[in-house]
Structure 1
């Protein structure tokens, strides 16, 4: 979020805002509040992610614009009937479009039943025409994919259910 002071319609340089977001990510900052003359910018990560069984999320990026392709409504993939208290979830660190593979001709990064570790890339989220690889961030077995390829994703939305090792 950016809040301008009494700058009379001044627009912040997008490159500077992006650099501030990069600094937030590099230094794992939750908030930056800068004032210079009559301008002010305040950047804050979104709401705290929902975490289960010690799963952490990647640092948040700035909100993305709506996807350019139309979103087709589809029923969620293999959704568990009841929440398993021992399960963990891989959640989205940003708003964007969910993709299961790096290209339409490629194999999915992970499938239900696959074993993953913290560094395993499980999907790609497209935000502002940038493709961001999303790691599992914990070790375990993929139990369910909770969204479909091409779905519009919100910050903190559950993407995969994982049974931790």
Structure 2
């Protein structure tokens, strides 16, 4: 792979906020990794980062669709036996943690971008989500 192609993929990683990318072209395998800026507090188990949720223009004026900003594993609670951050019917405030998406051992808190009431949790705990997967619907 040429240096210009590697630079193009590195730019794409930065633009999309990716910390790793692996490509196999023929017999060659290329893996690019970069460290992500860490915000929030860390722990011995994992580093935690606050990530704003992806919110598209409202398709329905009655609710806000909260979508995953990254690919990873959806966790509804901070620990295995802990209570979920939110559930259907809960009121949420702007900046409140809704869930965690784990990506490459990095725990990313997904926060509410607006006040409202959780009308639906669209994914299940432990589910792998893609970029843009709808996680919650919040009624205004």
How far the C-alpha of 1:13 sits from its partner, in A, is: 7.3
Q: Match of 1:5, SS?
A: helix
Does the CA contact (< 8 Å) of 1:99 and 1:125 recur in 2? Answer: yes
Does the CA contact (< 8 Å) of 1:116 and 1:141 recur in 2? Answer: yes
Normalising to structure 2: TM-score of the pair? 0.63
- Where structure 1 has 5 or more consecutive residues not aligned to the other structure, the ranges are 26-48, 54-82
* Matched pairs, number: 103
> What residue in structure 2 maps to residue 120 of structure 1?
96
Q: Match of 1:162, SS?
A: strand
Bigger fraction of residues in strand: 2
Normalising to structure 1: TM-score of the pair? 0.54
1:24-68 deviation digits (Å, cap 9, x = unpaired): x9xxxxxxxxxxxxxxxxxxxxxxx56134xxxxxxxxxxxxxxx
Structure 1 runs, 4 residues or longer, greater than 3 Å off = 11-14
Look at both structures and tell me which one has the larger radius of gyration over its CA atoms: 1
| Equivalent-residue separation in structure 2 for 1:151 and 1:127 (angstroms) | 12
Residue 102 (structure 2) pairs with residue 129 (structure 1): no
1:109-162 deviation digits (Å, cap 9, x = unpaired): 001111101111000000001111110111100000000001110111110000
> What residue in structure 2 maps to residue 95 of structure 1?
71
CA gap of 1:6–1:99, structure 2 versus 1, over 3 A, is: closer
Q: Match of 2:35, SS?
A: helix
How far the C-alpha of 1:6 sits from its partner, in A, is: 7.3
| Equivalent-residue separation in structure 1 for 2:105 and 2:87 (angstroms) | 25
Does the CA contact (< 8 Å) of 2:55 and 2:66 recur in 1? Answer: no
CA gap of 1:129–1:145, structure 2 versus 1, over 3 A, is: same
How far the C-alpha of 1:4 sits from its partner, in A, is: 3.4
Does the CA contact (< 8 Å) of 1:52 and 1:87 recur in 2? Answer: no
Residue 101 (structure 2) pairs with residue 153 (structure 1): no
CA RMSD of aligned residues (A): 2.9
